[in-house]
Amino acid sequence: MARRWIPRVTALIFVAGIAGIIITTINGNNAGVVLTIGLVITFAAVALIALSSSAASRIDVFEEADDERLEDSIMALVKSGADEARLRALVRDARRLGHR
């Protein structure tokens, strides 16, 4: 949920911050206000960078290892007498539910 609203809020802060710096500069160049706006923009940028770095997906090698383990489990169940088509359909549905 936060992955949706944090980028939107930071974009709003960026736009409002740039407008605030322009307006403050035109109205008398108050250094304290400009620095405050700059700090708020900086904190928003750091939050966006932190969100982007934590949203990285898993390394492909780990995904392949999980897939191989799952395939081995499926084949073991097929060898013990399970219907392969129904079992693969069940696994496909379970993975689809897991990705929601």
| Same-domain check for residues 48 and 75 | no
| Same-domain check for residues 48 and 7 | yes
Predicted local confidence at residue 70, as pLDDT: 87
* Global pTM exceeds 0.75: no
pLDDT in tens, 10-37: 999 999 999 999 999 899 888 899 999 9
| Same-domain check for residues 13 and 33 | yes
Residues of the domain holding 82: 60-98
| Same-domain check for residues 15 and 49 | yes
| Same-domain check for residues 48 and 12 | yes
* CA–CA distances in Å: residue 98 to residues 25, 62, 63, 94: 52, 17, 14, 6
Q: Is the pLDDT of residue 71 over 70?
A: yes
Q: Is the pLDDT of residue 89 over 70?
A: yes
| Same-domain check for residues 46 and 73 | no
Q: Is the pLDDT of residue 63 over 80?
A: no
| Same-domain check for residues 49 and 76 | no
* CA–CA distances in Å: residue 94 to residues 46, 83, 97: 37, 17, 5
Residues in CB range of 24: below 8 A, 6 or more apart:
30, 33, 34, 37
Contact 55, 3 (CB under 8 A): yes
What DSSP line would sit under 4-72, residue for residue? Answer: HHHHHHHHHHHHHHHHHHHHHHHTT--HHHHHHHHHHHHHHHHHHHHHHHHTPPPPHHHHHHHHHHHHH
Assign 91 a pLDDT band (cuts: 50, 70, 90): confident
